[in-house]
Amino acid sequence: GEPWVVMKTARAPSNIAVIKYWGKRDEKLILPINSSISVTLDPEHLSATTTVAASPAFHSDRLWLNGKEVSVEGERYKNCLREMRARATDVEVESTGRVIKKEEWSSLHIHIASENNFPTAAGLASSAAGFACLVYALAQLMGVKENYEGELSAIARLGSGSACRSLLGGFVKWNMGQEADGRDSIATQLAEHSHWDDLVIIIAVVSSRQKETSSTSGMQESVRTSPLLKFRAEEVVPKRIEQMEKAIKSMDFAEFAKITCADSNQFHATCLDTSPPIFYLNDTSRRLIGLVERWNRHAGEPQVAYTFDAGPNAVMFARNKEVGAELLKRLLYQFPPSSDADFSRYVIGDQSILES
Ligand code: PMV
């Protein structure tokens, strides 16, 4: 017959955790030792765009990241592809009317091309956007329908833990879950972005260099060696999750800021408590923390919150637009453009995924 190709493109945003996920209880299924809460970022500024294609002319699964071919042999890609193929349905090829049968998907090879519009692996959750996008695009391509709420989230989780949170917009909670097979370790939306649209997000790109310790190996080492991490997961995070959910529901910025900063700082403390220690923050990150802490102290109540993932870049939340403008002014004054830090301003996006 005629050669054919089917293709889908999707875009998924990145997300930033305000209660951090750090540490797995199951390495294969990517099940976390604690629940986490995040804010989904505006896809205009921080997102992955992924095109997936299938054709009988393809002889193997292949993957291009930002234009460079990389191996698709890693467990994470293989697990996502396997789970999606298992859920594929009959799909009609629009242009020809031909139907790709459910059974055919197991032997059809997939080509994947994914691009980020922001620095990869610099602690701005590029894997989160990437895997959320891959799973969503494959679902469109293969006609996958969710059998239960959060099924795609559970598959994205197999690619990268934090990816399960990028399938939803606004404020999102990843419940650690109880089940051994991970079916309840999924993300749910706490509130839409429009629920709290006063909030302004400003991202300070301190360095676009790739991080030295990947989150995967970093959290393995922390689980193995940090007594603080165990204490954090068991004694601290469960209470913070409850407090943070309340703060988001009631738009209590003071509480939101207090917990966000404390949780970022405790996450980086567990990194320092790891043997050998892991350093993600640099001098610029620490100066940013100082600037915000001084500001909040002088103001009498929190105006700005900061959080850092596995890298030196800051994500800052200003309580409203006026404070956001003032924050940018202070950042530009303290870190003039001639320095090695380069800052951009972003707002929260509610649109989590766009397809085409
Ligand atoms: O999903 P991973 O393996 O990229 O880990 C993410 C870890 C942090 O970004 C540091 C915290 C989080 O909850 O996103």
pLDDT tens column, 281-306: 999 899 999 999 999 999 999 999 99
pLDDT-based confidence at residue 343 (cuts at 50, 70, 90): low
Q: How far is CA 51 from CA 7, 67, 140, in A?
A: 7, 12, 11
In terms of Cβ atoms closer than 10 Å to its own Cβ (0-12, 13-18, 19+), residue 24 is middle
Residues 158 and 254 in one domain: no
Yes or no: say if 52 and 294 are a contact pair by the CB < 8 Å rule. no
In terms of domains, do 19 and 117 share one?
Answer: yes
Residue nearest to atom 8 of ligand 1 (CA): 309
28 pLDDT more than 70: yes
Q: Name the least confident of 135-149, 200-214, 281-295, 331-345.
A: 331-345
* Bridge-based pairing state of the strands 99-100 and 24-26: unpaired
Q: Is residue 134 part of a domain?
A: yes
User: If you take atom 9 of ligand 1, which residue's CA is the nearest one?
Assistant: 309
CA distance 348 to 317: 10
pLDDT in tens, 141-182: 999 999 998 999 999 999 999 999 999 999 999 999 999 999
Whether 289 is covered by a domain: the verdict is yes
Q: Can you tell me which residue has the tokens 């590029």?
A: 126
- Is residue 347 over pLDDT 90? no
143 vs 94 pLDDT, higher one: 143
pLDDT value, residue 356: 47
Q: How much of the chain, in percent, has pLDDT values that exceed 90?
A: 78
**Do 154 and 238 belong to one domain?**
no
Co-location of 255 and 235 in the same domain: yes
Give a yes or no: residue 351 inside a domain: no
| Inside any domain, residue 247 | yes
Whether residue 7 contacts residue 154, with contact meaning beta carbons closer than 8 Å, is answered with no
Question: Which residue, 50, 29, 45, is CA-closest to 139?
Answer: 50
**First CA to last CA distance, the chain:** 27
Let me know if residue 354 belongs to a domain: no
| Domain limit, last residue, from 173, 193, 213 | 193
Using the 3D structure, point to which of 193, 216, 242 is the last residue of a domain. Answer: 193
Same domain? For 143 and 211 the reply is no
Closest of 274, 266, 337, 335 to residue 307, by C-alpha: 266
- The answer to whether the bond into 276 is cis (omega within 30° of 0) is yes
C-alpha 97 – ligand 1 centre gap (Å): 42
- The CATH number of the domain holding residue 339 is 3.30.70.890
CB atoms within 10 A of CB 259: 23
Last residue of a domain, one of 145, 165, 193: 193
Tokens read off for 9: 């493109």
Same domain, 61 and 154: yes
The closest residue, in CA terms, to atom 10 on ligand 1 is 309
Which is it for strands 47-55 and 6-13: parallel, antiparallel or unpaired?
antiparallel
Q: Does the complex come out with an ipTM higher than 0.90?
A: yes
Confidence of residue 121 (pLDDT cuts 50, 70, 90): very low
Question: Per-residue pLDDT for 130 more than 90?
Answer: yes
Same domain, 168 and 291: no
Please give the distance, rounded to the nearest whole angstrom, from the Cα atom of residue 260 to the centre of ligand 1. 15
Domain of residue 89: give its range.
6-193
Percent of the chain whose predicted confidence (pLDDT) is above 70 = 91
Residue from 14, 15, 16, 22 whose mutation best tests the ligand 1 pocket (most atoms within 8 A of CB)? 22
What is the chain's length? 356
Query: Among residues 91, 97, 66, which one has the least CA distance to residue 2?
Result: 97
More confident residue, 343 or 290: 290
Q: Is 36 in the pocket of ligand 1 (CB under 6 A)?
A: yes
Residue to mutate, 21, 38, 167, 223, ligand 1, most ligand atoms under 8 Å from C-beta: 21
- 277 in the same domain as 186: no
Query: Is the residue at 324 inside a domain?
Result: yes
pLDDT above 70 for 210: no
Extended beta strands in the chain, E state = 6-13, 15-19, 24-26, 31-32, 36-40, 47-55, 62-65, 68-70, 91-92, 99-100, 109-116, 171-174, 187-191, 200-205, 304-308, 314-318, 342-346, 354-355
| Number of structural domains in the chain | 2
